Structure 1
Amino acid sequence: MAKVTVHLDAELVVEAMVLAGVGSAQDAVELVVRDYIARGHRTEARIAARDDALRETVQRPQEPQG
């Protein structure tokens, strides 16, 4: 995998290290980014499931009322 160099504020990185519970700035930033991406995928999956449920409700033929 390709690597990139990013310059961040030291206080931001230290806070990420504390919250992630790791002693390495590299590991902390990687964990935060991976968590952010995973959270985005979970959100997309929930929205897709909700949209599918709505689509099924709308597409069902209505029973004759009488």
Structure 2
Amino acid sequence: MPKVTVSLDADLAIDVMMLSGAANPQDAVELIVRDYLARSRRTEARTGTPDDSARLTREQRPHTEG
């Protein structure tokens, strides 16, 4: 997998390390990003995507008797 280099403010890197419990900034940022992505997927699974809005707003179809 290709690697990307990102520059961060030292205070931000330290905060991320403290929150994640990681020993170095690289691992800390990776853990935070992976958690963010996993949480986003869990949220979509529970709430649906914007395409699911039609499912939630049911139109009242006229009842036909025949």
- Total equivalences in the alignment: 61
Return the structure number with greater helix share. Answer: 1
1:47 deviates by 1.0
Q: Distance in 2 between matches of 1:55 and 1:33?
A: 31
Q: How does 1:11-50 map to 2 (within 5 A)?
A: 11-48=11-48
- For 2:44, the aligned partner's letter is E
Equivalent position amino acid for 1:25 in 2: P
Unaligned runs of 5+ in 1: 60-66
1:22 deviates by: 1.1
Distance 2:12 2:41 in 1: 24
Distance 1:5 1:55 in 2: 42
The TM-score, its normalising length taken from structure 1, stands at 0.73
